[in-house]
């Protein structure tokens, strides 16, 4: 499993400065660029930026920030995580990421999703009652665009196309594209039907419970006659010099964000006991480099995934602590995980 790739994900959470004051949205975006530049320098494979339209997050257009990162990096892959295709236009998404691909010398990729938040739907004039149909239809069109040939396509929720050629083209001839899935079997089957790689959002509970989804993906791909690509997973976490430091820096800010979102979804306020249990037995990868590395290696080996992305910001963790987390992930966690996986082969 030495060919496993390791990435970092963020939604551009607005961090605090060392005095506990929140940064502006503009400063938060620049912070993400600095973190990506550092990740590039220390060997992280991928930086993935998620799309949100809420005050807690600074990134609403991942590809715009990725374009800025492209001009300051040389090797790291540049991904969304995710692009909410349902409330966007497939042609424009393709064009924007093809542009990032050009600026970065072929390092762009896109992860498409339906979105776990729904603010983008009324913002851009879409009806939430079409939530599933919008993604189904737009994904079908996006897959056609990936061939980079003239497209004739008919839809119900988006205007049809007749022999439409879309520019710019990529140098490679195909833009790497994943589908992000949070736990819907139908979404797994849809991804296999289109022959696209699967990225699992595993944000709670033991990662092993997602093993049936990997099996479903592979069986569905075999039935459809498509390719079952190596599956990826992303999960939240945080790295600091010690376990105690990581837990204490992350917890109070994570709690605020979790309870704010939970209030909208009918969740009870999170208790510290739940937090600690999720670190020990679930899908929070929080601790020292060795602690986090061993937990990542266990999940990667158990599920047999080909990529692991750490969502390294979940709340207003201080900007300086985030930079340190990125540094430790690239310089210590990733090498340790690779060593552990090599020893277990």
- Hey, what are 185's tokens? 């079997």
Give the Cα-Cα-Cα angle 125, 131, 137 (nearest 5 degrees). 95
**Contact call for residues 239 and 292 (beta carbons, < 8 A):** yes
Each residue's pLDDT tens digit, 100-132: 999 999 999 999 999 778 899 999 999 989 999
- Is pLDDT of 190 > 60? yes
The Cα 317–Cα 325 span in angstroms is 10
- Is pLDDT of 1 > 70? no
**Contact call for residues 246 and 211 (beta carbons, < 8 A):** no
Q: What are phi and psi of 270, to 5 degrees?
A: -75, 140
- Is pLDDT of 183 > 90? no
Q: What is the mean pLDDT of residues 275-295?
A: 98
Q: What is the mean pLDDT of residues 305-324?
A: 98
Mean residue pLDDT across the chain: 97
**Contact call for residues 31 and 14 (beta carbons, < 8 A):** no
Q: Which of 65, 59, 62, 117 is nearest to 86 (CA)?
A: 117
Each residue's pLDDT tens digit, 11-27: 999 999 999 999 999 99
pLDDT at 2: 60
- Hey, what are 166's tokens? 């879309």
pLDDT at 46: 98
- Hey, what are 121's tokens? 């739907």
- Is pLDDT of 340 > 70? yes
The Cα 244–Cα 234 span in angstroms is 23
Q: How far apart are the first and last CA of the chain?
A: 8
Each residue's pLDDT tens digit, 200-235: 999 999 999 999 999 999 999 999 999 999 999 999
- Is pLDDT of 247 > 60? yes
- Is pLDDT of 345 > 80? no
């Amino acid at each position: 499993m030495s060919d496993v790739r390791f990435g970092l994900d963020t939604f551009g959470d607005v961090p605090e400065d060392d005095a506990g004051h929140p940064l502006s949205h503009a400063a938060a975006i620049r912070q993400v660029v600095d973190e990506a530049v550092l990740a590039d320098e220390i060997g992280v494979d991928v930086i993935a930026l998620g799309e949100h339209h809420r005050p807690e997050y600074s990134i609403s257009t991942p590809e715009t920030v990725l374009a800025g990162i492209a001009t300051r990096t040389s090797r790291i892959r540049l991904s969304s995580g995710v692009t909410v295709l349902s409330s966007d236009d497939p042609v424009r998404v393709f064009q924007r990421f093809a542009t990032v691909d050009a600026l970065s010398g072929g390092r762009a990729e896109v992860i498409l999703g339906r979105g776990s938040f729904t603010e983008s739907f009324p913002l851009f004039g879409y009806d939430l009652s079409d939530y599933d149909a919008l993604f189904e239809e737009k994904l079908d069109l996006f897959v056609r665009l990936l061939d980079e040939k003239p497209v004739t396509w008919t839809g119900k929720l988006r205007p049809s196309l007749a022999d439409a050629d879309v520019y710019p083209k990529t140098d490679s001839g195909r833009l790497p594209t994943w589908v992000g899935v949070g736990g819907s079997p139908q979404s797994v089957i849809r991804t296999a039907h289109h022959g696209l790689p699967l990225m699992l959002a595993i944000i709670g509970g033991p990662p092993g419970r997602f093993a049936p989804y990997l099996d479903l993906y592979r069986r569905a791909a075999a039935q459809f006659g498509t390719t079952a690509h190596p599956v990826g997973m992303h999960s939240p976490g945080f790295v600091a010099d010690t376990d105690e430091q990581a837990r204490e820096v992350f917890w109070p800010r994570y709690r605020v964000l979790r309870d704010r979102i939970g209030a909208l979804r009918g969740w009870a306020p999170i208790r510290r006991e739940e937090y600690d249990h999720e670190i020990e037995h679930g899908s929070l990868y929080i601790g020292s480099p060795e602690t986090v590395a061993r937990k990542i290696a266990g999940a990667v080996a158990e599920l047999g995934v080909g990529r692991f992305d750490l969502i390294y910001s979940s709340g207003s963790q201080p900007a300086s602590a985030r930079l340190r987390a990125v540094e430790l992930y690239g310089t210590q966690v990733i090498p340790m995980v690779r060593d552990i996986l090599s020893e277990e082969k």
